[in-house]
Every structure is written in C-alpha cells, then in structure tokens.
Structure 1
Amino acid sequence: MTRLKVRGFEIHKGFLPPETQRALIEALRPVLRSAPLFAPDVPGGGKMSVRMTSAGAFGWFSDSSGYRYEAEHPSGRPWPGIPAEVLDVWHGLVDSERAPECCLFNYYGEGARMGLHQDKDEADFSYPVVSISLGDDGLLRLGGTSRKEKTESIWLNSGDVVVMGGSARLAYHGVDRIRFKSSRLLPKGGRVNLTLRVVT
C-alpha cells in the first residue's frame, strides 16, 4: 500500500486487498436488490451518465429542481443500511467516532464520466468524504476550491481509497473516463465508486 497526498487529497493506493474488494461487492448485492440503480436527472436537463443508489439514513438525489439528500429511494422505500464491511473502511481511515449517514453508490459503465463538482450538500464540512474505488480503473481529476484553478489527474485502481478532508474537502473533482473491463472484479465490467459522507 502507498499513501499519496495530491492537492490535499489523501490517496491510499492498494488500501483494500483483493479478498476485501470481493467481500465488499458481495455485501453490496443486498443493497442493490433493495434500492436498485437509477439514472438521476440533472437541473440543466438530461440525465447523468452514471447510475446510482445509496445506503444509510440519507441518499443523495438529483432532479430538475436541484441536488439534495432524501430519506427515501425513488421507489418510496427507505434506503437500506450501510453494510458493516463498508463502514469498516471509514473507521479504518477517519479519526472520529461518528459514522457516515450516507454511502453513495455510483456505477460507471462504458463511456460514463462525472464532471468537475464539489461535494457541498452536507451540513458540516469538518468531516471528510471517503471514496472507495472498485472494479475498472478511473481517471480522477483534482482541482482546487475554484473552477479556475488548474487541475491534475491520477488513475485510481480497484482497492484504492481517497480521503477528501481539510483543504480538499470542498475541492473540485471529477472522473474523466474509465478503462472499461480493465478489472475482473465485476463480471460485466465497469467501475463502482462508494462515497461515505456525514450529512447532518
């Protein structure tokens, strides 16, 4: 395992060994059965290229009226609980007794990407966002707290974990592309990104 610091982002390369990655995927299957993936609408029109769902007390949501957290899946059912295996990653890296209230699950299929954005819908920015990469490689772009700042990119591989706290908590970031089927973790290919957040 290698720990890098890039623009305030703590990047833990190879933090999760292959057996832990497989255990996480298995632990997430009941989440997907209870709260199936959906493609959110965006305020400017159209849909995101990633499909997503959530676990925890809150789920992140987007539609024509804006971005926010909701207590229910679009089906009207409460979000399922965050699996213990996922919470273990948070507690292994975050020095706080407080547990995350949302695990946002993003699935990147072939051609999917995520534009530069800030994670700023939470009430308390003193808690970090912890991001877990599973499956195909993803090219993460890192910026600063202004869109005008220069960016740099780093490839994330399956098992890498990024902690966005301190100066990086409100930094712009995005995923420009994935190397589809670069990993064999997911039989049909694609990248799963889990982000753990304290919401309230």
Structure 2
Amino acid sequence: MTQGELFGGLFDPSAGRGRSEPAPGAVLLPGWLDAEAQLGLVADCRDWSRPPAGLHTVRMPSGGVMSVRMVGLGLHWYPYGYSRTAEDGTPVKPFPSDLGRLARRAVADAYGDAVPDIPGAAGYEPDIAIVNHYPHGARMGLHQDRDERTDAPVVSLSLGDTCVFRLGNTETRTKPWTDLELHSGDLLVFGGPARFAYHGVVRTLPGTADPALGLTGRLNITVRQSGL
C-alpha cells in the first residue's frame, strides 16, 4: 500500500460528523467531550497556564517564535526534547491524574477491539501533556511528534474555535495529506501507522467557539506517553 493510499485526499465533509478514520491508526470522534467536560477543561487550562511554569511562547533554534503559546504538564517541551524545569526555570506542573484517566478512556473509545494492532495502546500510560493556545491568526507548521521514546498513541482534545488540521504522511511534509475540521469537543487519536505522521494546524476559524466557553481562540490538549 502506498503513502497516497494510506493518507491521500481531502477529508469529505459530506461524511457527516460521525466517527471516522482519516488514516490507518488515526480515529476522529466528533463531540466526544460534552459541554460540561469542555467547560471543566477550559477552567483547568486557565489554572495550568498561570505562572510559575505557565503559558509561554517558544523560540525555535532558527530564531523564529511560534505563534501558539504553550504550557507543559509532567515535563516541559522545548525544541526538541523534554526537561523537568519550565521556561522560567521553575519545576513543571505535575501531570494530572484526571487527565490521564480521560486519555486512557479516549484510547479505549478510539480503538476498542483494535488495540492489539496499535503499538502501545493496550498498556497506555500517559504521563505528559502539552496545552497549546491558538490566538486568532495562529497556526502550527507540519511536524512529527518524535521527542517521546515510545510509539504509544497521541491523544488530542480540541476546545474553542474550529481549526483546519492537516494530517500528512510519515515521510515528508509535502503531499499526500488529509485536511480535517476539528471542532470544540472533538477527540483525535493517532497511533499505529499514523503515529509519526507529519501534522499541523493550517488555520483557525475565529468566532466559531461557543460563547459559553468564555474562550478566545482555540485550546488543544495533547496527551502522550513519554517513555522517559
């Protein structure tokens, strides 16, 4: 099977908002988080974002500054690795046990009986999370999540504004890729053949969030097993 057969094409919005598998190993569950769960996670993100070890901008080795702001839980991510101290030199906030339970349920709901075919899913033990805040106009270039020492799945939770998420292939940042709309409350899990696929956020759609969330822009919580 070619990369084009694995990952090619534009996601068909006419497929509706039901469960879908945009690529082998990638599962999208729209509306997985109900309104109460979304409100709770937004409140959690506000707490996690406060200093010390709070929300910060990231400067790349090239000198550029990422347009998203982020905060790490469990470990602090920097280009390209992890540390136990945050950008301000203080200890990283601990990884919340409630978030770990939520992520394990996400993997179980995504894969069900297919877990044996997804490396790292059966014994999934997440221990880190990265929370990204996308203000209006922010984006994320195509990249691979390769700083972990495991091929366990990545759990991605969306809150706030809708975004266009690009799921690429595992070999290059160029086509083939698949574009998905991720709405507030959506769950995306990618593991197996899609675990090391290039991916990123092409754009967010300002004003698409439910005003009840009290959130400007988009929050994305990615939960991972570090293997560290």
SS in 1 for 2:59: coil
Give the whole-Å Cα distance in 2 for the aligned partners of 1:122 and 1:87.
17
- 1:46-125 alignment to 2 at 5 Å? 46-56=64-74, 58-62=75-79, 67-94=80-107, 95-125=121-151
- Paired residues, number: 194
Q: CA deviation at 1:86?
A: 2.2
The letter of the residue matching 2:139 is R
1:91-146 C-alpha deviation (Å, 9 max, x unpaired)? 21235444212110100001000011110111111x10101101110100111112
> Where is the helix percentage greater, Structure 1 or Structure 2?
2
Q: 1:27 to 1:85 in 2, by over 3 A?
A: farther
Counterpart residue number, 1:44: 62
The letter of the residue matching 1:138 is C
1:142-196 C-alpha deviation (Å, 9 max, x unpaired)? 1111224411211100000111100000001110000112112542511000111
Query: Would the aligned equivalents of 1:7 and 1:143 in 2 still touch at CA under 8 Å?
Result: no
In the alignment, is residue 198 of structure 1 matched against residue 225 of structure 2?
A: yes
> Where is the strand percentage greater, Structure 1 or Structure 2?
1
Give the whole-Å Cα distance in 2 for the aligned partners of 1:82 and 1:4.
29
Following TM superposition, where does structure 1 have runs of at least 4 consecutive aligned residues deviating by more than 6 angstroms?
none
Query: Would the aligned equivalents of 2:45 and 2:131 in 1 still touch at CA under 8 Å?
Result: no
Unaligned regions of 5+ residues in structure 2, if any?
1-16, 108-120
Give the whole-Å Cα distance in 2 for the aligned partners of 1:98 and 1:167.
17
Give aligned-pair identity as a percent. 38
SS in 2 for 1:20: helix
TM-score (norm 2): 0.80
Give the whole-Å Cα distance in 1 for the aligned partners of 2:185 and 2:224.
19
Give the whole-Å Cα distance in 2 for the aligned partners of 1:158 and 1:70.
30
The CA RMSD measured in Å over matched residues stands at 1.6
Q: 1:155 to 1:98 in 2, by over 3 A?
A: closer
The letter of the residue matching 1:16 is L
Counterpart residue number, 2:38: 21
The letter of the residue matching 1:50 is V
1:57-110 C-alpha deviation (Å, 9 max, x unpaired)? x12113xxxx11111111121111233442232121235444212110100001
Give the whole-Å Cα distance in 1 for the aligned partners of 2:168 and 2:89.
36
SS in 1 for 2:65: coil
Q: CA deviation at 1:43?
A: 1.7
